[in-house]
Structure 1
Amino acid sequence: MLLGKLSCLLGLCSLTAGTILQNGQVRITDYPDTKIEISSYDFRTYDANATELSYKGRWDSKKVSWWSAPGLVFGFTGDTVAITFGELTTDTTLIGYRIGGMDWTFTNVTASTTHLLASPSTPGINETFPITPMTFELRVTNWAYGVQIDKVHVAAGESLVKIPPHQRTVEFIGDSLSAGMYTSYEGLSSFAYGVGAGLGDAEYYVTAYPGICVSDQDCWGNPRGQVHQWFYASDTSWRAAQIWGDEPEPWAFEKQETTPDIVIINLGTNDNNAANNVSTETYVDAYKKLIQGVHGKYPKAQVIVMQLWMGFYSYGNSYQQNLGYEQELKDIVSYFNSDEYLSAPTIWDGTTNTTTVLDAPSESFVHYFSTKGIMQHNDIGPQWHPTDVGAIKVASHLTQFIKLTFGWDLVATGPEIFHETLYWNDQQNY
């Protein structure tokens, strides 16, 4: 999505560590200081590549996190968990962490330090009727920052436990709208996260980064578009340039813990902006190639193409939703469901920029999701992105679309999804 300044896109416009603004005012936050001196504890230590650890989303071979809301999940015995973050961790990165389905707790972590993230007093530990094994989950909130996992520690004599992956998987490919830019907890307040976590019993990957186009060109400081970058482990951030330079690491699709059953694409807001000078023909060609790339990597996946929303504009004495590439996106969906494509499907590889025509025919796999009427003008913030409420609206409607279209049951019946949205009024007379 369009940003006011390139510096904000690069993540350089933060006020202070942990600052969250609510309608221009600073929200009071009281994040615990979890940093500890490791020599003061008696730990059993595991390396970052321990088989008991499950990395969610995209992490490279250095165990550095990328894109939006990447996570780490594992089971453990005992009542203690600590993590040592590597030198490639961005200082003061805000992470969310929790036991099982308890509410998220947040803390800022720093490079080359150890943080105590679970102890006997942590919610979810020492419960009367515990769910065993206890599950620990960590998620990186900020789309521009990242962490590197160096070591994971549990109490001496205790152990990590491998948690099997969920049976269903959904992946989002997008820009700032999917990444959660300007929502309270960014990645953990985005509509994409809301769908993935809200489905329950589902893995979710949010391969999204602010400002990026689907077209393979510079857009708001992103040197490449998703038609290329989706095939790589790292995003298009300044961190990626520092760590990987001009030779990013291709994403190891074959090593993913699970293969997506559904891929949801929301791209084109940045292509549609005149400042990026993307022709309609270029946009359509890149979008088609991205779907062809998804079809090549995930032959059995269903693809959902989301109708774009471009904010709202005044219309008489009301407002109208601004749209972009509406007919083009409908035509793209029609193309992939046509005999022309299904009889001789073409797949695309963004690492080699090559297409391959398959002999075997395909079945219809591309769907269109309309966003009309879901949000109203006050669901879009001053920086043209959904508010927390707007993101929840989109997530709710898209979740129901998935349920109705693919028959997926909704099985998340209690765990917290969106943090700090419990607003209410219990004053009767006012």
Structure 2
Amino acid sequence: MLPSVSSLAVVGLALLSRVSGTILQNGQVRITNFPNTRVDPSAHSFTTYPQNATQISYQGRWDSKYVSWWSAPGLKFGFTGPQVAISFGPLTSPGVLVGYRIAGMDWQFTNITAGGTHLLVTEQTPGLDLNITGAVTTFELRVTNWAYGVQIDSIHVAAGHKAVKLPDAKRKIEVIGDSLAAGMYTSYEGLSSWAYGVGAGLGNTDYSITAYPGICAADQDCWGNPRGQVHQWFYTSDTSGRAAQAYGDNPDLWDFTKDKPADLVIINIGTNDQNRANNVPPSVYADALTKLIQGVHGKYPDAQIIVMSLWLGFERTGNTFLSVSHKGFINEIRDMIAMFNSEAYLRDPMTYDGRTKTVSRIGRKTKPFVHLFNTTGILQHNDIGPQWHPTDVGAIKVASHLLQYIKLTLGWELEATGPEVFHETLYWNDEPNY
């Protein structure tokens, strides 16, 4: 989000260490009560499943060692009985904060110990119905910290009970972006981001957020990210120091065949490209975004694609605030979308492979598939925090408008039925006399 020079050090620090469970709101520490869920597994009687058990549905990107990457990766499975525990491998980021819940209950949070076993569901867990013998309950876990991850070693349920494979959701979306989509500076990062809000808010939808702070669309160094999304989107891991330590210069390619293809891909990237510190010319940005969309089209040939216009914050002008979003490559974005939806391109579409840097032709498309979501007017200056990123409220506003755009443009019904999406946003006043 167009950081000032003085904010760059803060951004760098955030990239290095945010594992602590401390949450700041307006500079003050928010009171949290994250339970210590670590247990000695030898003191419990479990039925255990390995990390590669077919009962586990991994959400987002996980590598061959079952280490998670990017923003808000997670897993889900069904279970019977009164207990769920997870053993985490040594490649887990120490103290990383995860959100977890059963069925439609609210998110709970705990800090994870690398190499530890954490008991996350017990007889006292609210909403666990023990009166129905053999009932299957859904368990879900998501990593909150965009710069960190967990390694799954095994999952456990109570002895004599079982884990159950859950069916895929009706729809699947993927969000591709930078810090704005990753949830940088929102309360629960990935689980407070607008990208998560769209995925969870749609209901009956699996979602993946391939986003990382500071990254450009163009394939160059931006804020310490050595590669851009036009390259990195094709890989399992993000551009973090954690990934560099794990893979060096040989990251795992992402196997696009291991999951159900996305039905919708939302792209919000270019905020870092337009920053003068990264000096990406408009033509280079347009070329990178074009190739990224071609790559998405090649991997998900039936997916609809939504490209979001950029919001770049506000400048005080006289006695008011004015948006500077007109500086956000808007002409390049509009021209590119027009090209993809043109009869000439639909007659002879091309795909791009970020690994081999090759362009190839695929079969004819019958109708336009790239859409522009214009973010102008959604956020006002008080929806942007001091570090140039949306506040929690700002993220909710973006998600809400985008949900309606998806409904009106694609005809998708909003199928969320009541479970919590954004945690700790339930504020109310019941005092009438003031």
Q: Does 1:412 align with 2:423?
A: no
Which of 360-369 and 328-337 deviates more? 360-369
- The aligned runs of 1:7-406 (5 Å cut-off) are 8-9=11-12, 11=14, 14=17, 17-126=20-129, 132-256=135-259, 258-323=260-325, 324-406=328-410
Q: Determine helix, strand or coil for the equivalent of 1:151.
A: strand
Shift of 1:340: 2.5
Q: CA separation of 1:308/1:132 partners in 2, compared to 1, >3 Å: closer, same or farther?
A: farther
Rounded to whole Å, the distance in 2 between the matches of 1:80 and 1:364 is 49
Report sequence identity in percent. Answer: 64
Q: What do the CA deviations read for 1:122-144 (whole angstroms, capped 9, x no partner)?
A: 12212668994200000000100
Rounded to whole Å, the distance in 2 between the matches of 1:101 and 1:195 is 17
Q: Is the 1:45–1:151 Cα contact (8 Å) retained in structure 2?
A: yes
Q: CA separation of 1:285/1:195 partners in 2, compared to 1, >3 Å: closer, same or farther?
A: same
TM-score, length basis structure 1: 0.97
Q: CA separation of 1:310/1:241 partners in 2, compared to 1, >3 Å: closer, same or farther?
A: same
Report the RMSD for the aligned CA atoms in angstroms: 1.6
Rounded to whole Å, the distance in 2 between the matches of 1:86 and 1:252 is 22
Rounded to whole Å, the distance in 1 between the matches of 2:9 and 2:65 is 28
Q: What do the CA deviations read for 1:389-418 (whole angstroms, capped 9, x no partner)?
A: 000000000000000111111111210000
Shift of 1:14: 4.4
Q: What do the CA deviations read for 1:249-291 (whole angstroms, capped 9, x no partner)?
A: 00000111x2111100000000000101111111000000000
Shift of 1:6: 5.5
TM-score, length basis structure 2: 0.96
Q: What do the CA deviations read for 1:335-390 (whole angstroms, capped 9, x no partner)?
A: 10112211111100001111112353453100000111111110000000000000
Q: What is the aligned residue count? A: 429
Q: Determine helix, strand or coil for the equivalent of 1:304.
A: strand
Q: Determine helix, strand or coil for the equivalent of 1:330.
A: helix
Shift of 1:316: 3.2
Rounded to whole Å, the distance in 1 between the matches of 2:151 and 2:366 is 40
Which of 278-287 and 310-319 deviates more? 310-319
Rounded to whole Å, the distance in 1 between the matches of 2:13 and 2:77 is 31
Rounded to whole Å, the distance in 2 between the matches of 1:103 and 1:129 is 21
Q: Is the 1:344–1:362 Cα contact (8 Å) retained in structure 2?
A: no
Q: Is the 1:304–1:368 Cα contact (8 Å) retained in structure 2?
A: yes
Q: Is the 1:345–1:362 Cα contact (8 Å) retained in structure 2?
A: no
Rounded to whole Å, the distance in 2 between the matches of 1:177 and 1:231 is 20
Question: Which blocks of at least 5 consecutive residues in structure 1 are unaligned?
Answer: none
Q: CA separation of 1:158/1:15 partners in 2, compared to 1, >3 Å: closer, same or farther?
A: closer
Match for 1:148: what amino acid?
A: Q
Q: Is the 2:15–2:147 Cα contact (8 Å) retained in structure 1?
A: no
Q: Is the 2:81–2:134 Cα contact (8 Å) retained in structure 1?
A: no
Question: Which blocks of at least 5 consecutive residues in structure 2 are unaligned?
Answer: none
Rounded to whole Å, the distance in 2 between the matches of 1:201 and 1:331 is 34
